[in-house]
Structure 1
Amino acid sequence: MTKRLSLATLCAGMLLATTAQAQTSPLSIGASAGITDVRYGTQTETGHTWEINGTLRVTDYTSLYSGYGQTSADFDNSNGTETTLTSSYIPVGVQINVPMSMGNVYLRGGGNYYQTKFGSDKDIGWGATGTVGFELQPTVGPKMAFEFTYADRGTAETSSVNVGTSIGF
């Protein structure tokens, strides 16, 4: 157990030592929210999404990305009642940053582990996710981002427009 802990500490130290920003921490945490189109079977409805996320900058152009989020939408049934779709997810991906004068344009790709509930139906698994976005103020301190995200969550697919904020340390 001690050898594993020492190895994990060594690996974490090496990863932080090779990051892009020598004077500051390469970590950034944030939150985002937005509207989303949710497709479930043949039905499509508009809902909302939120996410808490973090990035670890590896180089000036790449970051590792993860977080936790939730998407929900209300679907009208043929009998006049509503059924709520709720999808909780953990995204994991690599982000490619293209620095510009006022911020970054970025592409993010990866997967998301999800749990989707629709009425009594439940779907758990892995799906693909992709994001394109623009981030204002890419240096240390507060940032603001605008992004478009597509995610496959098994029986549900989502397309979201999000606004987020984050802070780098």
Structure 2
Amino acid sequence: MKTLIIYNSQTGFTKKYAEWLGERMQATVMNLKEAKKEKDGFYKEFDAIAFGSWVLGGKAVKAEWFLEKAPAWKGKKLVQFMVGAMPGDAPEIATFLDNALNEEQKQYIKAFFCQGGLDYTKMKFPYKQMMKAFSSMTAKKAVTEDEKKMAEMIASNYDESDPKFIEPIVAYLEGSE
């Protein structure tokens, strides 16, 4: 199966997942800037296309590009994978994945979440400020042990990325899901 992995990464976590997927699937991997330069005919040669992006406010950043192109690719296996700092077992993930695609898109695109991390040293200034404010607010409101753990985690850099999180994506693309 000829597979294309397109990614949009700010701090490197999504790029890491795209590269892991690319290696595992023997796929072509390119960043979104490169993909936007390609003519529509370029995509015809692929059997599967996966788009990965980082999460901001519960939404995949720059996913609109992929979602606008996707109807023309309905005959292919399509994946949208999102990489975020929240733990992969957080209850919000199910809601987040459910809201990532509309009902029509869910008919031909499968959404996945991969746990990443935070790297304040690579964040653009506005996002860094926003996350620091969120971290401070979370620490003040933390009551339960889970909330305290989350507040502690987002106060500094951490990396929870792991190749195991691509396994459901690989299973779907290979048809063994």
Question: Is the radius of gyration larger for structure 1 or structure 2?
Answer: 1
Which structure has more helix as a fraction of its residues?
Answer: 2
TM over 0.5: no
Where is the strand percentage greater, Structure 1 or Structure 2? Answer: 1
**Please, what TM-score do these two structures have when normalized by structure 2?**
0.28
TM-score (norm 1): 0.29
